[in-house]
Chains A and B, each alone.
Chain A
């Protein structure tokens, strides 16, 4: 039974949306997988272009920047690859999260499926892209003889934590962008800047003195490092887990009432 109102559905309704969306997984697993294939349609290599472009980053940027940053290549290239993988994954959840509803306007006007389906779709799609990148990561580990176990096992909870954040980010940014489209123009601009002030191609300890605020007050840093450290065989510190976990809680606390209040209006805005 479904009772409909425009405004102010309860927080429980919003949570139910999260659960119901999960039940539609056959749909979003299919859609997400097709999204990946679609981007590389009619090309011979298909989604392996994702791996190939990561290989270019490793080969070209790795060799050049290891000189610029004055780090040995066997140290710098794995750091760069792991960092790029974590950055591409995390930033895509934000950049694509803002479009989670706008990009699905056609289906939201036709078929009554929970809005969370579209967020699950983009999480799954980016997880697949991450998977294609791991091919390069494994090759790099092999070349530079790095044995990342047992710390690598912590990459799994790190991924889960990032996905939990991607879920709220997709709902919150998606709903705000559906109403205020300028917001959607702003996000890619901000993210481009954030890339340069986040330690992805440089090391966190290079930001000395007061400059360390770019690292320590930068939420992206915590998620990137949380995933990158285990990929390189290092244990992420307690502070990283603590901050990332707190951001998750705060994000959900903000998102649930906003999404609950506005979710029914999305159909009118898109």
Chain B
């Protein structure tokens, strides 16, 4: 049973030892980012999410839409259990696989095979499971003999291939994706999208943050539009994308 339930979730980032140099003239609101306020520790705090409620069930494919700093990645991290909410309640059931940062857990000095194992273990696979899937991962990455070389010899596209290959081979109940298919050449992007579609169809819940409307339309059936950490619109993907397009970028 996969489930994500958010009730009135508010998330403040404390930023100790920080202060705003000067107060901006009123009326000159910022276009991006969360809301700034003075925190309890003397420094500032950023309100990244405010009073957000949401419930996702198996079959839901949610797109996160919004400007830079609207809270998309933060929301993904809340769902992943990485950031606990300041107020409100978060309930998550099921095996979560976050794919937030492709370069994470990659050791430049280690070989490609080593990196498959470490990343796989981090994602909650057992050694036996990784061994079983090793050929399939290697094949998908198309890195061939490079897998025996240290990762520092790889190009950034090759690194992305490997990271992506491992992450999409985990059997996930909930797949959380953050702008993941941006790197790589055209043929890889096509392949990655295919793999993602497979992984997404196996996952019971998918949450995807992206600026590429085509990608979002291809994967998602629901969407949530965030602005300064607040929900601006929630509903079917096409409606929300219309709202987003229609809204003036303030």
Distance between Cα atoms of A101 and B148 in the complex (Å): 31
For residue A30, which residue of chain B has the nearest CB? B121
CB of B110 within 8 A of CB of A34, answer: yes
In the docked arrangement, what's the CA distance between A38 and B151, Å?
14
- A1→B91 contact, CB < 8 A: yes
Interface pair A1/B105, CB less than 8 Å apart: no
B105 in complex: contacting residue of A107, A179, A267, CB < 8 Å = A107
Q: CB of B232 within 8 A of chain A?
A: no
Q: Which one of B78, B82, B127 has the highest number of Cβ atoms from chain A below 10 Å of its Cβ?
A: B82
Chain B residues, Cβ within 8 Å of A41: 109
Given A4-B90, A264-B84: A111 and B110 interface contact (C-beta under 8 Å): no
Q: Which residues, 100 to 128 on B, are CB-close (under 8 Å) to A?
A: 100-101, 104-105, 107, 109-110, 114, 117-118, 121-124, 126-127
Q: Does any Cβ of B come within 8 Å of A108's Cβ?
A: yes
CB contact between B93 and one of A1, A6, A106, A108 (< 8 Å): that residue: A1
Checking B85, B86, B98 against A112 with a beta-carbon cut-off of 8 angstroms, the contacting residue is B98
CA gap between A235 and B80 in the complex, in Å: 50
**Nearest residue, chain B, Cβ from A117:** B122
B14 within 8 A of A: yes
Give the docked Cα–Cα distance between A113 and B121 (Å): 10
Beyond the given pairs A5-B84, A107-B104, A269-B16, 14 more chain A to chain B contacts, judged by CB atoms under 8 angstroms and listed by A's residue number, are: A4-B78, A5-B85, A26-B121, A26-B127, A31-B118, A41-B109, A42-B109, A110-B98, A110-B101, A110-B105, A111-B82, A111-B122, A112-B82, A267-B82
Chain B interfacial positions (CB closer than 8 Å to A): 13-14, 16, 77-78, 80-86, 89-93, 96, 98, 100-101, 104-105, 107, 109-110, 114, 117-118, 121-124, 126-127
